[in-house]
Amino acid sequence: MIENERAVINVKGHLIGGDWFTTIAGPCTIENYKDLFQVASYLKKLGIRMFRGGAYKMRTSPHSFQGLGEEGLQIIHRVAEELEMVSVSEVVSVEDVELMAEHIDILQVGTRNMHNYRLLKKLGSIDKPVILKRGMCSTYDEWLLAAEHIKAAGNDRIILCERGIRTFDNNHTRNTLDISAVSTCQQLCPYPVIIDPSHSGGRRSLVRSLSWAAAAAGADGIILETHFQPDTTICDSQQTIDFDELNTIISKLPQLAALWNKKIQRYE
């Protein structure tokens, strides 16, 4: 497929891949400026420089909150500029790509869109890194070929994200984290591979063990959902962790990532 040198993706001086273990965190969805600013400022204090927040949400039910749309993009853009942080947000359709590329630093393709090849091709034409989540029922080959769609269209700044696959239990876990995805994909392609412990387990009580498992397995990072008051969040509150839990999780990541000679980027 591709020569397998580990790619390092540099976003405004912040690194993903290679020797680095990167944490991306933030709310599931952007609800308003004040809350997003509060979450992102706290993350910055912890040494996290990449934050997430959805403006367009792919909700299973049409009756659930669908996101703030363009207003959400403006909010996340403003927070990223004010705090000099890197923003991550999901793109859900071809027609939003250009607008999103103006506002967002890293565009995320969600599990439901991994097979949306027109969207992937369009993402090949922009100069922004793409987090490509694994389709919930997709094989590794399908996932890597989806990445090829982006690369073949001109963009090789791709980050793969394992977010849990569908197996037979959805009563106690939302999905099943396929931890083998880390080594398998790292052996098959140069792209960084990160884990989403929030959407994998779907429960707050699972995020710590899945995050630590990710670091111990040699993942290039994690992306997780956090908020100062998880119970009040509109979307995915059951899997959103509070700041105490986030602190506990990140406190052990340096040791675990060191198993694979990976470091956490430090800032003065």
Write out the residues near ligand PEP by the rule CB under 6 A: 28, 54, 58, 90, 110-111, 133, 163, 196, 199
Min. distance of Cβ 259 from ligand PEP in angstroms? Answer: 26
Place of tokens 């027609």: 95
Closest CA to 131 of 81, 74, 192, 181: 192
Looking at the Cβ atoms of 65 and 260, the one nearer to ligand PEP is 65
Place of tokens 């091709």: 121
Residue at shortest CB range from Mn ion: 28
- Indicate whether 207 belongs to the interface with Mn ion (CB under 5 A): no
Please write down the HEC assignment for all residues of the chain: CCCCCCCEEEECCEEEECCECEEEEECCECCCHHHHHHHHHHHHHCCCCEEECECCCCCCCCCCCCCCCHHHHHHHHHHHHHHCCEEEEECCCHHHHHHHHHHCCEEEECHHHCCCHHHHHHHCCCCCCEEEECCCCCCHHHHHHHHHHHHHCCCCCEEEEECCECCCCCCCCCCECCCHHHHHHHHHCCCCEEECHHHHHCCHHHHHHHHHHHHHCCCCEEEEEECCCHHHCCCCHHHCECHHHHHHHHHHHHHHHHCCCCECCCCC
Residue 105 binds which entry of Mn ion, ligand PEP, none, CB below 5-8 Å type-dependent: none
Min. distance of Cβ 248 from ligand PEP in angstroms? Answer: 22
What x/- string results for residues 2 through 41 when contact with Mn ion is judged by CB under 5 A?
A: --------------------------x-------------
Min. distance of Cβ 54 from Mn ion in angstroms? Answer: 7
- Indicate whether 196 belongs to the interface with Mn ion (CB under 5 A): no
Cα separation values, 33 from 67, 202, 225, Å: 13, 26, 17
CB atoms within 10 A of CB 4: 12
Residue 163 binds which entry of Mn ion, ligand PEP, none, CB below 5-8 Å type-dependent: ligand PEP
Min. distance of Cβ 131 from ligand PEP in angstroms? Answer: 9
Question: Which segment (70-78, 113-121, 170-178, 230-238) binds Mn ion by CB under 5 A?
Answer: 230-238
Min. distance of Cβ 236 from ligand PEP in angstroms? Answer: 7
Interface residue with Mn ion, options 26, 236, 243, 256 (CB under 5 A): 236
Number of residues near Mn ion (by CB under 5 A): 2
Residue 35 binds which entry of Mn ion, ligand PEP, none, CB below 5-8 Å type-dependent: none
Min. distance of Cβ 135 from Mn ion in angstroms? Answer: 16
Min. distance of Cβ 235 from Mn ion in angstroms? Answer: 6
What x/- string results for residues 150 through 189 when contact with Mn ion is judged by CB under 5 A?
A: ----------------------------------------
Q: Which residues bind Mn ion (CB under 5 A)?
A: 28, 236
